[in-house]
Amino acid sequence: MTAASDNVTSSMSHFRNKRNMLIRTYKSVVPDAKASVVLLHGNCSHFRAEFSAYNMKWYMEKHAIGTPEVEDVVRNELMAVYPNNAGGKTTTDETKFPDAFTLDGRSFYDISPRFVHKGSFIEKLNHLGFNVYGLDHQSNGMSEGLNGKRNYFTNLEDIVDDVIQFIGIVKRNKFDEAGEKYDKEAIGAESVIGKVYLAGISMGGNIALRVAQKTSIYKNGSQNFIDGLIALAPMTDLSSYTDGVGKKIQLSISKAISMAYPSCTLGLAADNVPKNFNTFFRKNDPHYFGDVQCYAVILSLFDATRTLRKGHNQYPSDLPTLVLHGKNDDICDVKGSRDLVNKYLTGLKDIQYIELDTSVHCLTSSLYVDHIMPQLTTWLQRVHDGACPGA
């Protein structure tokens, strides 16, 4: 069953991607919606962690190491992971959810008390009259992964293709038809649900921009595959991680190791010390990947930034685009967004760049989202009304 709150209905479904992986999907819809927004989460995260609100009251009242109630909650959460492995935390048969289809149609807030709608980025968009859709990228959250591993992919293009497939499903109003399989001919179909906007944060921002590039082939007259794009602290430049001779040597060694042992990790302990409330919530979320990433994944992120830069000539020149980034972001350097708008996408008819006076990277967290909503609200209202500069 679905769950409705203040006329908002949330539910889950799934589809099968090119490799027949089960990709978990989500929607939060309102009556008489003006349009839809597809949200893309970042690296190591999942849809609910990025765009729902962590239930602070539950954490403060119930959460403690060894608390029986919390252990039961975690056990139920892990039962929804495909396959039955979440960051190496459990591999026992008893934690494997018996049937993926039993989740389809249920509210994604039913899985555990860890997340709530109130105060979330999803709620903000619903309140503006937009339906919200999203997915857990392959090997993240509750989606299947390559070789049964969590947070494991060797080419971000595979995830880009998953997103393109999912947007096609949303546009054809097939979200509730669980188990949809890849159909290249159906992807470019005209939307039957009105306008669809795409928004991504961090790695999700990179994916969103790449989706716009790759789907330019589906342009039909003045109609693009999507109707607008929002990139929040997008991962477009990782050069700060390779500054200096030492880091360049380390990257070269990593490439060599990755070719021989792609799933090998750095051999370092994960940083499990919470630095703020948001990291505390995530470190205790079993669907959030808090372990050390393997070489292949790390290198695929570097490759993704290069692929994106090479493909900017494919970006639709008439696609309304908004880029927001904190000027002191220490995860994804703001240099990437500055270059994006001042160097690579200068020919766009409607591009807006907003640089925020903050070091926050997780801009859609319920702890920070109110700082970006005024800008997002203004942009969405303007673009949806069709008042685009240069048009």
Does the pLDDT of residue 172 top 60, yes or no? yes
Does the pLDDT of residue 12 top 60, yes or no? yes
Percent of the chain with pLDDT over 70: 80
Span 148-168, pLDDT tens digits: 888 999 999 999 999 999 999
Report residue 205's pLDDT band, with 50, 70 and 90 as the boundaries: very high
Residue type, 223: Q
The reported pLDDT for the residue numbered 94 is 44
**Nearest of 370, 343, 281 to residue 45 by alpha carbon:** 281
Q: Residues 67-84: what's their mean pLDDT?
A: 69
- Asked if 71 contacts 62 with a C-beta cutoff of 8 angstroms, the reply is no
The domain segmentation of the chain, as residue ranges, is: 3-384
CATH of region 3-384:
3.40.50.1820
| Alpha-carbon span 221 to 240, nearest angstrom | 40
Does the pLDDT of residue 66 top 60, yes or no? no
| Alpha-carbon span 285 to 100, nearest angstrom | 20
Does the pLDDT of residue 380 top 80, yes or no? yes
Q: Residues 244-267: what's their mean pLDDT?
A: 48
Is the omega angle on the peptide bond into residue 83 within 30 degrees of 0, that is, cis?
yes
The reported pLDDT for the residue numbered 383 is 96
Does the pLDDT of residue 249 top 80, yes or no? no
Span 290-307, pLDDT tens digits: 888 888 899 999 999 999
| Alpha-carbon span 308 to 158, nearest angstrom | 14
Does the pLDDT of residue 112 top 90, yes or no? no
**Nearest of 155, 129, 121 to residue 47 by alpha carbon:** 121
Report residue 63's pLDDT band, with 50, 70 and 90 as the boundaries: low
**Higher local confidence (pLDDT), 81 or 201:** 201
Report residue 147's pLDDT band, with 50, 70 and 90 as the boundaries: confident
Does the pLDDT of residue 122 top 90, yes or no? yes
Q: Residues 99-123: what's their mean pLDDT?
A: 88
The most distant pair of C-alpha atoms in the chain lies apart, rounded to whole Å, by: 60
For 234-244, b/e burial (b = at least 16 CB within 10 A) is bbbbbeeeeee
Q: Residues 223-248: what's their mean pLDDT?
A: 83
Instruction: Give the three-state DSSP class for 37.
Output: strand
Task: Report phi then psi at 229, rounded to 5.
Answer: -135, 135
- Asked if 250 contacts 244 with a C-beta cutoff of 8 angstroms, the reply is no
pTM: 0.86
Q: Residues 232-252: what's their mean pLDDT?
A: 70
Radius of gyration of the chain measured on its C-alpha atoms = 20
| Alpha-carbon span 376 to 76, nearest angstrom | 35
Within a 10 A sphere around the Cβ of 382, how many other Cβ atoms?
Answer: 17
Alpha carbon 269 to chain centroid distance?
Answer: 25
Report residue 177's pLDDT band, with 50, 70 and 90 as the boundaries: very high
The reported pLDDT for the residue numbered 83 is 47
Mean pLDDT of the chain: 85
